[in-house]
Amino acid sequence: MAKLFAVIGNPIEQSRSPELHQAFAKKTGIELTYNKRFAELDAFETSVHDFFQNDGIGMNVTVPFKERAFSLCKQLTERAQIAKAVNTLWMQDGLLYGDNTDGQGLVEAIKALEWPLENSTILIIGAGGATRGVIYPLVHAGVKKIVISNRTIARAEQLVDDIQDAVPQAELLTCGLDQLEGQFDIIINATSASLSGDALILPVELTFKHAYEMAYGKPSSFIQQAQQRGVPCSEGYGMLIGQAIEAFSIWNGVRPNLKDFL
C-alpha cells in the first residue's frame, strides 16, 4: 500500500506541497499518496490525531497552525525548538515528533544559487515567525553575522535575546527599518510587506551582493529595487522546494536533488 502523507492548513487550496512530494516520489521511485487536508480553526489537533490514527506517515503543517503543531509535539528537533514553530510531523515509538524545515529550505535554495554562506554577513528584514525559523540553519551553514532589521525594533531585540545563546558562533545585531546601512553579502526580505503591497525602501547607504525575497508569486518592490542595482535576486520558490525536500528526506530517508525541481 502507498504510504500516506498530507499537508494541513486553513486555507489549504493554495498549497503546492502535494505536487512537489509527488514529483519527488516519482524521481526517487517511492510510492506515496499526499493529500491536502483542510482543518477548521478549532479542529487542528483532532485532525492531526485522526490522520496518524489512520496510518498517516507524515504531515506538513502550514498557516495558521505551525505554532499549534509546535505545542502538540512530544519531541522536537533543536531547530524547531528555536523556531517555536513546526511544519513537519511524524510518529516514532508512539510519540509525535516535530521539525521545522523552512530555514534549511532557505539554506538549500541559497546553496543551489551558489551564493556563498560561509563567513558571510546577512541582513534580514523582518522579525516575525519567518525570521525566527531561518537564523539557526543560516548560522549552521556558516553565516558569521546577521543584522535583523524590523519596523518594530523591540520585536527584533526580543528575537535576538531569545536566540543568541543557541548560536554563540555568530553575531546577531538589530536595527530599525530607518537605519538600514552597511555592506552585506545577502539581504533577505522576511517581512509580509510585499503581500500587503507596501514598499520597503532600500537606501543608497545599504549595499549588498545578493537579494532573496522569501515570498513568491507577486512582484515585490524589494526585488525591483535589487534588480535596479544589478545584483542577483531570487524569490521564495526555491525555499519552498527546499523545505519540502527536507521533509521528504526525514520521512523517506532519500534526498531528492533541489536543482532537479527548480
| Residue 209 among the catalytic residues | no
Residue 127 or 206: the one with the smaller Cβ distance to ligand ATR is: 127
Q: If we measure between CA atoms, which residue out of 90, 93, 95 comes closest to residue 74?
A: 95
What are the grid coordinates assigned to 170, written together?
A: 555568530
Residue 32 or 186: the one with the smaller Cβ distance to ligand ATR is: 186
Q: Choose the catalytic residue: 66, 74, 144, 145.
A: 66
* 3-class secondary structure, 200: coil
Residue 46 or 71: the one with the smaller Cβ distance to ligand ATR is: 71
Q: In sequence order, what E strands does the chain have?
A: 3-9, 32-38, 56-61, 75-76, 88-92, 95-99, 121-125, 145-150, 171-176, 182-189, 206-213, 233-235
Chain residue whose CB lies nearest ligand ATR: 128
What are the grid coordinates assigned to 4, written together?
A: 500516506
Query: Which stretches of the chain bind ligand ATR, using CB under 6 A?
Result: 126-130, 150-152, 155, 191-193, 196, 198
Q: If we measure between CA atoms, which residue out of 237, 246, 258 comes closest to residue 88?
A: 246
What are the grid coordinates assigned to 251, written together?
A: 520521512
Residue 149 or 234: the one with the smaller Cβ distance to ligand ATR is: 149
Residues labelled as active-site residues: 66
